[in-house]
Amino acid sequence: MGDDVLEKLLKQLEAREIDRDTVLQYIRKMPYEDLGFAKIDYHRGLRQGFPEVIYCASKTAEQVKEIFRRLAERSRRVLATRADSEMAAAVQEAVPEARYHPLARVITKGWEETTRDVVGEVAVICAGTSDLPVAEEAAITAEIMGSSVTRVYDVGVAGLHRLFNELQRFEKAKAIVVVAGMEGALASVVGGLVDKPVIAVPTSVGYGAAFGGLAALLGMLNSCASGVSVVNIDNGFGAGYTAHLIAKQSR
């Protein structure tokens, strides 16, 4: 339950469209609802400005469906990450307006509406096409939260001239997410070219010595460029969320 839902309830009560007991019933469930397999935090939208996000990995399709359905009843925006097609199909049975983004592996409700109330500008840059799933997870996360996102893809250090031709496209961004695997060098390059926060995302893309993204993670942590912060391996969601918060504060 976010501010918008609570405000709507209070207006309906004032207009006598609903009664006091109905409002009390909603408020009683505001802190959380215990489903046995999950305790849904309905209060998070009020505390943090965005509802609880569903991490789908290791959950069953039915569990994801039920959590998504209950969140969708109380919020116009819902986000589920690391979802597969089976989970998406189950969710869409309960919430037909839900949309599956297979490349990013996320399910959204209300993603299409966020362009109406943009609160900040974010850029998402990735080194190679193999990094796209993580980059899209970051981009869609920032978008559904309310940021306008500029995507600049496949501009890694093996062909750095491609990045230079795109610099003007993300000049207005308040925060930049840089997604890269292999040695993760792109984050340092971008960090040395811009005057805004860079959130680096190492990906698990790379040959054996990349150690599933550990080489990129260490490379990004050791960046000599100022203003570069690093999230966990393949954590596009965390980067997109943080970029939105930075962009929102910079309005």
pLDDT for 169: 87
Helix (H) or strand (E) holding 24: helix 20-28
3-state secondary structure 148-196: EEEEECCCCHHHCHHHHCCHHHHCCCCEEEEEECCCCCHHHHHHCCCCC
Q: Output the pLDDT for position 251.
A: 65
Note the pLDDT of residue 132.
97
CB-CB contact of 65 with 75 (8 Å): no
- Residue 10 pLDDT: 81
Q: Where in the chain is the domain with CATH 3.40.50.1970?
A: 118-249
CATH code of the domain occupying 118-249: 3.40.50.1970
Note the pLDDT of residue 36: 85
pTM for this predicted structure: 0.86
For the record, the structure tokens of 179 come out as 């997604």
What per-residue confidence (pLDDT) applies to 120?
84
* pLDDT at position 114: 64
Q: What pLDDT, on a 0 to 100 scale, did the predictor assign at position 30?
A: 65
Q: List the chain residues with pLDDT less than 50.
A: 1
**At 35, is the secondary structure helix, strand, or coil?**
coil
